[in-house]
Structure 1
Amino acid sequence: MIYPDNFESKIGFDKIRQILADRCLSPLGREKVEEMAFSSRYTDIQEALSQTDEFIRIIKEEDNFPTNYFLDVRPSLKSIRVEGTWIDESALFDLRRSLQTIREIVSFLKKEDEDNTPYPHLYTLAGEVAVFPGLINQIDRILDKFGRIKDNASSELNRIRKEILQVSGGISKSLNSILRQAQSEGLVEKDIAPTMRDGRLVIPVAPAFKRKIKGIVHDESATGKTVFIEPAEVVEANNRIRELESEERREIIKILTAFTNELRPLVPEILQSYEFLAMIDFIRSKAAFAIDIDAIKPAMEDKQIVRWYTAKHPLLFISHRRQNRQIVPLDIELEDDKRLLIISGPNAGGKSVCLKTVGLLQYMVQCGVPIPLDERSVVGIFEHIFIDIGDEQSIENDLSTYSSHLTNMKFFVRNCDAKTILLIDEFGGGTEPQIGGAIAESLLKRFNQRGAFGVITTHYQNLKHFANENKGVVNGAMLYDRHLMQPLFTLAIGNPGSSFAIEIARKIGLPEDVIADASEIVGSDYINMDKYLQDIVRDKRYWETKRQNIRQKEKRLEEVTENYETDLLSVEKQRKEILRQAKTEAERILSEANAKIENTIRTIRESQAEKEKTKQARLELSDFRSSLENEAPADGKIARKIEKLKNKDKNKKKKEKAQGQTAQPEITVGDNVRIKGQTSVGQVLDIQKGNATVAFGMIKSTAKLDTLEYVSKNQQKREKKPTMVSAAVSDDMREKKLNFKQDIDVRGMRGDEALQAVMYFIDDAILVGVSRVRILHGTGTGALRQIIRDYLRTVPGVYNYQDEHVQFGGAGITVVDLD
């Protein structure tokens, strides 16, 4: 229930309704806007909000939703219900285009099956909507693409139009012949051509020569200087044209009547499809409005609660935006033992705006319209919204402002309950303060007893005391900067507000003796109490700021602590991995050494060496390997062993080189190589006169052969393994992780610029250890997408890449999974 009858105009919803109507594409949607009504059914509200929320995503993410030809053909369809009537050509053309739009919308919403659709509520709305493909084909056989009846709509029409063309051609020839003859005789000007009058082809002639040409005078110009003569030779032909045009019209009516007879039984079903089109138009207008005011589908609970953060009054938001001003958002909570909020504070401090914001947003959401507030907010459902605001003084009804308030209060106190929210401005005002305050307190007591919710503004001290002393009622204050002497338009719940009457009077310039006299009249107790209220508000603001700063510092400290813990775990994991790799590397080197010694033993054996020395050498090698495997994997010992084994390996290679063995294979086309001193590995594409063309990913480069070194596949695998990093590098890594963004947008860049940006981006992603990144390249011609994917195919750290889900961007975004 909504009270009073002019509730919508009082809170400004009539303007919201007009904005929505203006955003509709057709009268179909505008009718739905007018029919939009307040509901207290949770499921209905959720359904309406969900439909709008899905359409918001369509507007933001899709670019092919059909929005052409939202045409209202219902009047024409209703007019053909009587037998013998027919639909005219223009209405038939509108019917065809709008039915095609309905068909395309249903196809769009049902392009996925019910289980996979990204728009389930709109999918359900499309439901069993009929799309009439056969009817569209029938219309296409009758009308051309411009909405005119086709020549071949019937054989008789085709014959008639051919004859019209034939007769018209004969008339044109006759007229041109007569005109040339008249021009040669000087009866007609040289630049004159046949013209049309009353549907008949005629020749313009000066009045002096009208009797020189035999025929019928049909008209004369406004100046009287020209008469239009139909030559006698073409009168019969023109008459035949008239007859044929009548036959043509009768045949068209016959065609349209025959079609209408087939259309008539389908009218009820077609009208139902137009209901769907109307709903789509209506939902679209709500979605467009929601995007404009940054509104969302809020979290809702099927109970009475108001827990809103950064709520904005939509009309005030639009108005301020035009003036390049910022709106002050509202934070408000009404629930449990704080159901009735008594707001006090200075005039023009925002009390009424706060009240209207609550009323308008609650009404909007229960009409199925998204509202502008933070996603953390929770919105409840009320069965009744009662409002008392503004001056209802009426001369005709002999009703004063106060009498109007009391009439409203009588209705409120009789009808409010625990599912009601009351919105009362200047509670108790309009009469003598003492009795007005007493009546207001008595009413407030009964509202509280009935468990009602509400936002009530007042200046009365007794109501502030009542709120402070009774459970269910809470004080609130509109904050005021006493130093700058200006309102802050911010609601603070928990303490009453001061009216700042003395301060405002002093700022305006009221004489000081008047202010002193007034202060003496009300007494020191009142002045001191008002001062204490101001001090409380000031102190609360101070401590709120302190608490906010502490929260921010605590949050930062938690983030830093979490980063250090994460880094410690990462370092420990790296340490274990490096130890494991070190042991593996040691085993590999030992294996190579063993193979070398076996080769030495074989050589000794073949050279008739002593068996005892051979046995001793193998035994020493076995003892060394066993001792290494039994040692604890301490960092220092392993590191020393590795260093020792590496030195032996280096000495072995030097010895082999000295013996004439070739350590560096000859580089050929297809080999993997790198520039000496660099880490990037490329593939040799061509070798010409000591120079090699090498492809590093998508980039080709030419280098001298002697600056390149061969890289084997095993060597590549080994070099992919992680190594220990220093403390300084770890700090850099931590900084990169903190600042790394997992999306990059290269839309609009040239191919080489985009490729360079993606290369740096992928390198950083692998460095910081993220598992997934997204590259926004857009669809366009697909060239940029192909260049990027060709590069990704060459990067060892990339093990998969694919299109983003169609709901989040589809082929315009590449999702990259990294090792």
Structure 2
Amino acid sequence: MIYPQNFEFKTGFDKVRLIISEKCLSTLGEERTAAMSFSSDFLEVTQKLEQTDEFIRILHGDKEFPANYFYDVRYSLKRIRPEGTYLDEKELFDIKRSLQTIHDIIRFFRSPEEDEILYPALTALAGDIMAFPQLITQIDGILDKFGRVKDNASSDLARIRKEIASTTGSISRSLQAILRSAQSEGVVDKDVAPTMRDGRLMIPVAPAFKRKIRGIVHDESATGKTVFIEPEVVVEANNRVRELESEERREIIRILTVFTNTVRPLVPEILCSYEFLAEIDFIHAKALFAEQINAIKPVLENKQQIDWARATHPLLYLSLKKQGKEVVPLDIELKENKRLLVISGPNAGGKSVCLKTVGLIQYMLQCGLPVPVHESSRTGIFESIFIDIGDEQSIENDLSTYSSHLTNMKYFVKNCNEKSIILIDEFGSGTEPQIGGAIAEALLDRFNRSGSYGVVTTHYQNLKHLAEDTEGLVNGAMLYDRHLMQPLFKLSIGNPGSSFAVEIARKIGLPEDVIADASNKVGSDYIDMDKYLQDIVRDKRYWESKRQNIRQREKKLEDTIARYETDLEAVNKQQKEIIREAKAEAQRIISEANAKIENTIREIKEAQAEKEQTKLIRKSMEEFKSSINDAAVSDDKIARKMAKLKERKEKKTAKQPVKQPVFNRDVIEVGDAVRLKGQTSAGTVMELQGVQATVAFGMIKSTVKLDRLEKVSKNQLKQEIKKSTFVSAQTRDDMHDKKLNFKQEIDVRGMRGDEALQAVTYFIDDAILVGSTRVRILHGTGTGALRQLIREYLRSTPGVEHFRDEHVQLGGSGITVVEFE
């Protein structure tokens, strides 16, 4: 609920509404924009924000959204409800194109190509919306691509138009013969040609020679220098053309009436689909507006709160952007123990702008619009917004400015609660300062006791004192640069602001003695307090700047420490891995040494050596084993030994010659370079299939028998590619154009079986050639023979991975969807 319908606030939001309306594609969306309203339902607001946020992602996505034909045909659909009425050609054409748009939008959200639902809120909005592909197909059978009724829409229409063309042709020939005869006799100039007047072909003649041509004078030019004669030999033929045109019109009306009779029972369902189109148009416009003002979907919680960072007034942002200026963002926080913000500061310092920014952004948010705040912001929901901004005096109701303010305050006091937000500009002004300040203080205390949230602006000292000493209230100041004597338009929460009255008066040039007299009248205490406020604000700005710099340095230091810790952890991990590998290598050496020892002992035994000598050898081996074990536990020694082993291994690898694959001309494998026997152009083998191979010659793939190919070296392939290119630039351009202009759908309804099969064959070949992953074949349902014939062909076609019926809402078994490998 918004109270009252404040003029300034209403005007501001009406401008927002107008900008969104201008971005709509049709009157469908414009009506939705006009009906946009404030909501306190958390789930409803969340849903609207989610839908708009998803559409913003669509605007930034790679896949183009189908937004071609947003037509409002609701009037036409409602007009045909009585029997005997019919849709004319333009209405039918608009219905066809807009239904096709609805069909494409539903396919966009329910695309089976995607593994997951990318836009759940918008997909849910599509729900069970009908796309009516059968109607689109029927209209395609009636209208051509320009929206005119086709010749073959009925057999009678085809016959009538054929006869019109034949009769018109004979009239033209007769006129040409008469014209040539008249030109040879000098009755008509050489450059004159037959002219159409009132739907009849005539010959233009000078008035002096009008008796030379037998016929009927139908008209003359505006200057009177030319008359238009219909020769008597073509009068009857022209009459016949008129009759045929009337028959044509009657037949077209009959065709349209018959089709309208099939549409009439479906009108309620079709209108539901257009309601969906209207909602999509509206969401699309909201997304465009959000992009224009850099708005986002903020964190929204189901409680009363305002915690905004870098909030900007959208209309002020757009206005300053046109002037090449930047708006100063607003940081504001209203929480449970500091719900009511009392803003003070100099005039023209931005207090009212701050107030209007809060009101407009909160209202936009609860209308389901993204808002221009920083992504770290947290927003909440309020049940009502009470506004008192500007001069609301009324001559009719005999209300002064102050009376109108008090009327609003009476309503606020009676109706505000902990779920309300109150916005009051120049609180308590408009009457004698002492009583006005006292009433304002009492009202502010009442608002605080009711638990309301709000922002009020004031110059009254007593309100600043109340905010300083009362729980739930907090002071705020609009900052002012004392040295430059200009406002900074920044809000600082925590301390009251000075009005800078003396400084502004001195800047304007008010005489110094007047300023001194005024200072003496208010007393030194007031002047000193104002100076103290200025000093506090100045010091706060200084220390805030210092604190910000310290924060930035701490953040930088934390990032550096985190990076070093990550690097150190990686080094330690790498060191442990090296040690593990070194120990494993040492263990392997020990195992080899043990084997050597045992082998030596065996040899001594076999040689029947003396026992003393055997003991000496075994002792020597044990010492060798012990030294290796000692080395294994020393990380430093292991690291040095591993380095030596690695160096030795690298040298050994470097000395070994790299084996080159043997070139065998008779064996062809995947990846080999080949060429057609007797040809110079070479290609690469992509796939082997029995006695055939798929070879890529430049951009073209071809299936060739192996006995027609000969193997060439890679170097020869590179040289031949340099010498000549198999695919010319023209061919590449043609292939590129073919890929760009390739349509993912073919319509073979009405064709004979062999004609349809040939068309589908060419279509599938083109689809494979341009690399398409999915196409649709429209064959209709009928007896099912055409569908069966096409699918038998698809089963035997290499490259076709899968085919299936289209989704029931998008055409069902009348359409086959083909997917390629």
Name the residue aligned to 2:185.
185
Q: What SS does the corresponding residue of 1:47 show, helix, strand or coil? A: helix
Name the residue aligned to 1:560.
560
Name the residue aligned to 1:785.
none
Q: 1:646 to 1:92 in 2, by over 3 A?
A: closer
Taking the aligned partners of 1:347 and 1:269, their CA distance within structure 2 comes to 59
CA drift at 1:6 = 3.9
Name the residue aligned to 1:720.
none
Whichever residue aligns with residue 267 of structure 1, its letter is V
**Contact 1:219-1:227 within 8 A present in 2 as well:** yes
CA RMSD, Structure 1 to Structure 2 (Å): 3.0
Name the residue aligned to 1:532.
532
Name the residue aligned to 2:70.
70
Whichever residue aligns with residue 349 of structure 1, its letter is G
Taking the aligned partners of 1:67 and 1:55, their CA distance within structure 2 comes to 12
1:374-773 aligned within 5 A: 374-588=374-588, 620-621=620-621, 623-629=623-629, 633-639=633-639, 664-670=655-661
Name the residue aligned to 2:295.
295
Q: What SS does the corresponding residue of 1:495 show, helix, strand or coil? A: coil
Taking the aligned partners of 1:639 and 1:85, their CA distance within structure 2 comes to 95
1:18 and 2:9 correspond: no
CA drift at 1:588 = 4.5
Deviates more, 1:630-639 or 1:159-168: 630-639
Taking the aligned partners of 1:508 and 1:664, their CA distance within structure 2 comes to 91
Name the residue aligned to 2:119.
119
Q: 1:599 to 1:325 in 2, by over 3 A?
A: farther
Name the residue aligned to 1:705.
none
Q: What SS does the corresponding residue of 2:175 show, helix, strand or coil? A: helix
Structure 1: runs of 5 or more not aligned: 672-683, 686-699, 703-780, 783-819
CA drift at 1:599 = 9.3
The one-character-per-residue Cα deviations of 1:182-238 (angstroms, maximum 9, x if unpaired) are 111110001111010010000000100001100000111111111000000000000
Whichever residue aligns with residue 18 of structure 1, its letter is L
TM superposition score normalised by structure 2:
0.77
The one-character-per-residue Cα deviations of 1:323-369 (angstroms, maximum 9, x if unpaired) are 22221111111121211111000001100000000000000000000
Whichever residue aligns with residue 384 of structure 1, its letter is S
Taking the aligned partners of 1:521 and 1:491, their CA distance within structure 2 comes to 31
Q: 1:666 to 1:390 in 2, by over 3 A?
A: closer
The one-character-per-residue Cα deviations of 1:478-535 (angstroms, maximum 9, x if unpaired) are 0111111111111111111000000111111111001000000110111011111111
Q: 1:666 to 1:386 in 2, by over 3 A?
A: closer
Q: What SS does the corresponding residue of 1:12 show, helix, strand or coil? A: helix
Name the residue aligned to 1:163.
163
Whichever residue aligns with residue 246 of structure 1, its letter is S
1:5-404 aligned within 5 A: 5-6=5-6, 9-10=9-10, 12-112=12-112, 116-404=116-404
CA drift at 1:634 = 2.3
Deviates more, 1:292-301 or 1:592-601: 592-601
**Contact 2:583-2:632 within 8 A present in 1 as well:** no
Q: 1:168 to 1:447 in 2, by over 3 A?
A: same
CA drift at 1:176 = 0.5
Whichever residue aligns with residue 456 of structure 1, its letter is V
Taking the aligned partners of 1:87 and 1:644, their CA distance within structure 2 comes to 91
The one-character-per-residue Cα deviations of 1:588-627 (angstroms, maximum 9, x if unpaired) are 5566777889999999999x89687788657644542354
Q: What SS does the corresponding residue of 2:556 show, helix, strand or coil? A: helix
TM superposition score normalised by structure 1:
0.77
CA drift at 1:559 = 2.4
Name the residue aligned to 2:803.
none
CA drift at 1:398 = 2.7
Q: 1:185 to 1:306 in 2, by over 3 A?
A: same
Taking the aligned partners of 1:229 and 1:611, their CA distance within structure 2 comes to 145
Taking the aligned partners of 1:13 and 1:309, their CA distance within structure 2 comes to 22
Taking the aligned partners of 1:16 and 1:453, their CA distance within structure 2 comes to 25
CA drift at 1:171 = 0.4
Size of the alignment, in residue pairs?
A: 669
Q: What SS does the corresponding residue of 1:488 show, helix, strand or coil? A: strand
Q: 1:198 to 1:9 in 2, by over 3 A?
A: farther
Taking the aligned partners of 2:419 and 2:594, their CA distance within structure 1 comes to 87
Q: 1:622 to 1:197 in 2, by over 3 A?
A: farther
Structure 2: runs of 5 or more not aligned: 663-671, 674-712, 716-769, 772-821
Deviates more, 1:469-478 or 1:127-136: 469-478
**Contact 2:216-2:232 within 8 A present in 1 as well:** yes
CA drift at 1:668 = 3.5
Taking the aligned partners of 1:244 and 1:664, their CA distance within structure 2 comes to 97
CA drift at 1:630 = 5.6
The one-character-per-residue Cα deviations of 1:694-743 (angstroms, maximum 9, x if unpaired) are xxxxxx999xxxxxxxxxxxxxxxxxxxxxxxxxxxxxxxxxxxxxxxxx
Deviates more, 1:614-623 or 1:394-403: 614-623
CA drift at 1:420 = 1.0
**Contact 1:589-1:645 within 8 A present in 2 as well:** no
Name the residue aligned to 2:668.
none
**Contact 1:301-1:378 within 8 A present in 2 as well:** yes
Q: What SS does the corresponding residue of 2:348 show, helix, strand or coil? A: coil
Whichever residue aligns with residue 350 of structure 1, its letter is G
**Contact 2:337-2:473 within 8 A present in 1 as well:** yes
Taking the aligned partners of 1:50 and 1:6, their CA distance within structure 2 comes to 29
Q: 1:217 to 1:621 in 2, by over 3 A?
A: farther
Whichever residue aligns with residue 141 of structure 1, its letter is G
**Contact 1:586-1:642 within 8 A present in 2 as well:** no
Whichever residue aligns with residue 325 of structure 2, its letter is R
Taking the aligned partners of 1:512 and 1:26, their CA distance within structure 2 comes to 63
CA drift at 1:666 = 4.5
Q: 1:602 to 1:645 in 2, by over 3 A?
A: farther
Taking the aligned partners of 2:641 and 2:175, their CA distance within structure 1 comes to 115
Q: What SS does the corresponding residue of 2:552 show, helix, strand or coil? A: helix
Whichever residue aligns with residue 472 of structure 1, its letter is G
Taking the aligned partners of 2:256 and 2:378, their CA distance within structure 1 comes to 57
**Contact 1:401-1:430 within 8 A present in 2 as well:** yes
Q: What SS does the corresponding residue of 2:131 show, helix, strand or coil? A: coil
Whichever residue aligns with residue 492 of structure 1, its letter is S
Taking the aligned partners of 1:447 and 1:45, their CA distance within structure 2 comes to 27
Taking the aligned partners of 1:167 and 1:6, their CA distance within structure 2 comes to 72
Name the residue aligned to 1:754.
none
Taking the aligned partners of 2:91 and 2:483, their CA distance within structure 1 comes to 69
CA drift at 1:436 = 1.0
The one-character-per-residue Cα deviations of 1:23-78 (angstroms, maximum 9, x if unpaired) are 11111101100011000000100010000011111111133210100111111111
Whichever residue aligns with residue 338 of structure 1, its letter is K
Q: 1:539 to 1:235 in 2, by over 3 A?
A: same
CA drift at 1:396 = 3.6
